[in-house]
Structures are given as C-alpha cells and as structure tokens.
Amino acid sequence: MKSLKLAFTGCLAAAVLCLAPVTAAAQGSGMDLLKKMEEKFQGLKSVSGEFTQQLSDSDKAFADLKKPTPTAAHFSLLKPNFFRAEYQDAPGQPPSVQLISGQMFYNYVPQLKQVTTYKFQGASNVRDLNYLLLGFGAKADEVQRVYSVEAVKNGVKLTPRNPQEASFRYIIMHVDPQSLYPTDFAMKQSDGKDLVVKMNLGTLKINPPLSPGNFQPNFPKEAARVSM
C-alpha cells in the first residue's frame, strides 16, 4: 500500500510503453519539449484536478493475474514545492492524503491513524518533488541537472543521473501536443513494478485560488508519526 501512495519516492505501465529510438537529436528534442512547457507555464502559480493511479507488475509470469483497481485522486499544487493529493477508497487501498510542504513529505492514512514523514536531504530539488510538478513548467535546466532527458513519442523519459539517490529507475511523461498538458506519467520502480498515472485533463483548473492552509500538515494529533 505504501509503495503505491509514496509517489515522489518511486510511485508512479499497466501496458508496455513503446519508446522512440533515442538519438543525439532526440535528446535535444526532449529538452526542447521541456523548455516549451517551462515557457507555457511560466505564469502558472497553482493547478488542481483529478487523476487515476494504478500499480502493476511487468513480469510476464503475472500477466494473467487480475490487475489492481485504479485509485482515483484529487490533487492541488502550489508552486514551487507544495502538493496535496487526496486518494479515494479502492479495494486494498484505503483513503489517504499525500502532502508535500516545503522540504517535508507526509502520507496520512486515517484508517491506520498514522502519518509517514520524510525530510528531503539538503535543499529540495526536482528529483525529490512529486512527479506532477515536473509536468507543469519545472525549469528545464534544473530537470536536466538531476535527470538524463531522452525523447519518446509525445513526451520525455527522465532517468535519474544518480541512481543511488532515487528509488525508481525512470519516469516517462507523455504530453498533449496542442495544450502541452501532461496526459500521463509512467514510473518504473526499483522493484521492477510499473506505476501509471493518467491525468483527467477535463478536470484541470489553472491558477485556482488555493489556501496555503491546505498544504500544512494539520493531521489529527492522535495520528502516530513514523519517520521514513
């Protein structure tokens, strides 16, 4: 359950993704896409919407097993590093709240009366932050500093430059060619499992008024704190 919800550490396919051949030119076009997104969303301060998230095992030995039920969530983010996602109830996945507030990460599961916390080491960077923040105008040069950027069809593949500092192998982000909004994210986790997140573009709200209080860890006092 925790590996599904802790998106920033390795939670993000349900199907095999066909990658475009990576060449020197493709590397450049991958950066070009990130720079276009940075320019497109430079005035974006906040965004909210909905997505579904599903974990699967790419091992062919498990191909015939029933796939986990997708988990729906409502999210809101406030640049540069505030994020909140409220996950709905799903079979095997009780409701939870995921929060990034400054340099702290929180995962609250009401059913367990527990809050899992994690403090980013040093100054937080784009590798530490939730993958959704990458899709709404993260600075391209900062992304390239911590990820190797490769072009895929209608998107980019981001591979951590220092694998020892990441608990996932890579992220693939697909983008709508017209709006430049991210349509889905696929993360290959260190254990070989895939996490795919599909955005509901029809629910996106750009620059909605968001209260800073929504990004504060105001969880019940009786919830036990567990440090990662």
Query: Structure tokens of 82?
Result: 């505030």
β-bridge mates for residue 54, sequence order? 196
* Domain assignment present for 125: yes
What is the mean pLDDT of the segment spanning 59-72? 61
* Domain assignment present for 90: yes
Domain containing 184 — which CATH number? Answer: 2.50.20.10
Closest to 199 measured CA to CA, from 56, 49, 67: 49
Residue 126 has a pLDDT of 63
Total domain count for the chain? 1
Q: Is the pLDDT of residue 152 over 90?
A: yes
* Domain assignment present for 140: yes
C-alpha to C-alpha distance for 131 and 53, rounded to whole angstroms: 12
Q: Is the pLDDT of residue 146 over 50?
A: yes
* Domain assignment present for 215: no
Residue 227 has a pLDDT of 92
Residue 151 has a pLDDT of 95
> What would the pLDDT profile of 76-131 be if each residue is shown by its tens digit?
999 888 999 999 977 667 899 999 998 889 999 999 999 999 887 655 566 666 77
Residue 56 has a pLDDT of 74
Residue 193 has a pLDDT of 87
* Domain assignment present for 210: no
Sequential DSSP letters for 163-199? GGG-SEEEEEEEE-TTT--EEEEEEEETTSEEEEEEE
> What confidence category does residue 7 fall into, taking pLDDT thresholds of 50, 70 and 90?
very low
Q: What percent of the chain stands above pLDDT 70? A: 77
Q: What is the mean pLDDT of the chain?
A: 80
Q: Is the pLDDT of residue 162 over 50?
A: yes
Which residue range(s) make up the domain with 55?
A: 2-62+70-204
* Domain assignment present for 102: yes
The enclosing H or E element of 9 equals: helix 7-10
> What confidence category does residue 191 fall into, taking pLDDT thresholds of 50, 70 and 90?
confident
* Domain assignment present for 45: yes
Least confident of 16-30, 39-53, 66-80, 151-165: 16-30
Contact between residue 93 and residue 58 where contact means Cβ atoms under 8 Å apart:
no
* Domain assignment present for 216: no
C-alpha to C-alpha distance for 95 and 180, rounded to whole angstroms: 31
Q: What percent of the chain stands above pLDDT 90? A: 51
Sequential DSSP letters for 83-98? EEEEEPPBTTB--EEE
Q: Is the pLDDT of residue 149 over 50?
A: yes
> What would the pLDDT profile of 196-221 be if each residue is shown by its tens digit?
999 999 999 999 999 989 999 999 99
